[in-house]
Amino acid sequence: MTRRALGDIGRASVLSNVALLLVSEAALSRLLAIALVWVALCAAPAPCFAASDWFASVYSPQGVEVRADERLFTLFATFNALGYDVAPVVRKDPVARRAYSPVRVRVREALAGLDPKLLAQVNAFFDAHPLPLAQYVAYTAQLGPAPSFSAPAGIAPASLAGFEKQLAAVYQAAKVGALFAQVQEAYRADTKAYVPVIDGPLAQARTLLRDPPGRAIVAVNDLDGQGAVQAVSVGSDTKLLVVGPSATPDVEGVVRAYARLVLAPIMGKKAGALKGASEQAAVVRGSGGPELTSAADYATALLARAIAIKVTARDAAASEKAAEKQGFAGIKDAVRAVGELAKPGRPLDQVIPDVLARIDLKR
């Protein structure tokens, strides 16, 4: 081969390498530009969050939605502004002091300066609509997003119509949107903590209760008391479980609330199979436990606790002892008896009396 031919090949090789280098540099430049744009967009949290809402809602592998909900945040901010103080008492004397989450302390301080006229207006609405807190949770969960909180047609309970206007007024006056943005990281950490641990226990509870798979939402709520869980049905197939703050995910509390939601409609007719339930409800009230007022309430709460212990507790004996301290006699029998729920062949309302009959509240 001639020197000229070799020279031509060499020049071609150099030009080819230069071309490849230029292409690579161009590609890298494009990638760098995209990365810089993404960083710039997400450097301002509010627009980035508003566009994708990725911080507010995540899904477990089996499709349980775990979220922070601005509507519920506004609702409980309103409750707190009016004196809602459900929380563990860490000091009784000389003046009671309750343990609030850091987020709740921050929000309560921010709401301390709300216009008394606005608070009186909301109080007047509550006076005219003295419904259980859970019904306000269910109503709020059906509203449109802030700041308008528009109510869809057919919203229930219909008796709370107009409450969305109260929420909108508080949202604007208290700058709740800014408050919610300030606590995003805390809420994000809470939501992410539930994702890897919620699937198994909730699936087991669904199997025991023969509840067909539907939509389940766990909404974290740092503006409630530790251990508090509000459970409501929203629509025909959605169960909303609003869980208060805790050092670790309160999976037992979530399952307990879910089980109560499924069992409550049945127990009104079946609780008679649990002898002494009415009397034991009074014992629970006197022991600082939940406000149970009937045999059905006690039977529902007892069986819900038993199911939660069965599917979540690493130390069942400790969980049973804690339940007994609150007045839940028969909890050990109940934990053993819930195995009957797993037996196929009969619907839940037919199995419940057999389960309750195996629980002795006197021992």
pLDDT class for 290, splitting at 50, 70, 90? Answer: confident
Share of the chain above pLDDT 90, in %: 72
**Running DSSP on this structure, what letter comes out for residue 276?**
T
Judge whether residue 314 has pLDDT over 70: yes
Token pair 């800014």 in the structure block, residue: 178
The tokens for 154 are 């057919």
| pTM beyond 0.85 | no
The arithmetic mean of pLDDT across residues 249-274, rounded, is 94
The arithmetic mean of pLDDT across residues 290-300, rounded, is 92
The DSSP result for 24-72, as a single string, is HHHHHHHHHHHHHHHHHHHHSHHHHHHHH-TTTEEE-TT--EEE--HHH
Judge whether residue 330 has pLDDT over 60: yes
Kindly give the pairing relationship between strand 65-67 and strand 229-234: unpaired
Closest CA to 238 of 265, 266, 219: 219
Q: According to the model, what pLDDT value does residue 49 have?
A: 28
The arithmetic mean of pLDDT across residues 168-184, rounded, is 96
Distance CA 51, CA 264 (A): 40
The arithmetic mean of pLDDT across residues 324-349, rounded, is 90
Domain ranges of the chain: 69-183, 250-363
Q: What is the pLDDT of residues 124-171, one digit of tens each?
A: 999 999 999 999 999 999 999 999 999 999 999 999 999 999 999 999
Q: What is the pLDDT of residues 12-25, one digit of tens each?
A: 443 344 333 333 44
Judge whether residue 348 has pLDDT over 80: yes
Distance CA 323, CA 317 (A): 10
Mean per-residue pLDDT over the chain, rounded: 85
CA 217 distance to own-chain centroid: 7
Q: What is the pLDDT of residues 27-76, one digit of tens each?
A: 434 434 333 333 333 333 333 223 334 457 899 999 999 999 999 999 99
Q: According to the model, what pLDDT value does residue 284 have?
A: 92
pLDDT class for 360, splitting at 50, 70, 90? Answer: very high
Range with top average pLDDT, 4-8, 24-28, 93-97, 344-348: 93-97
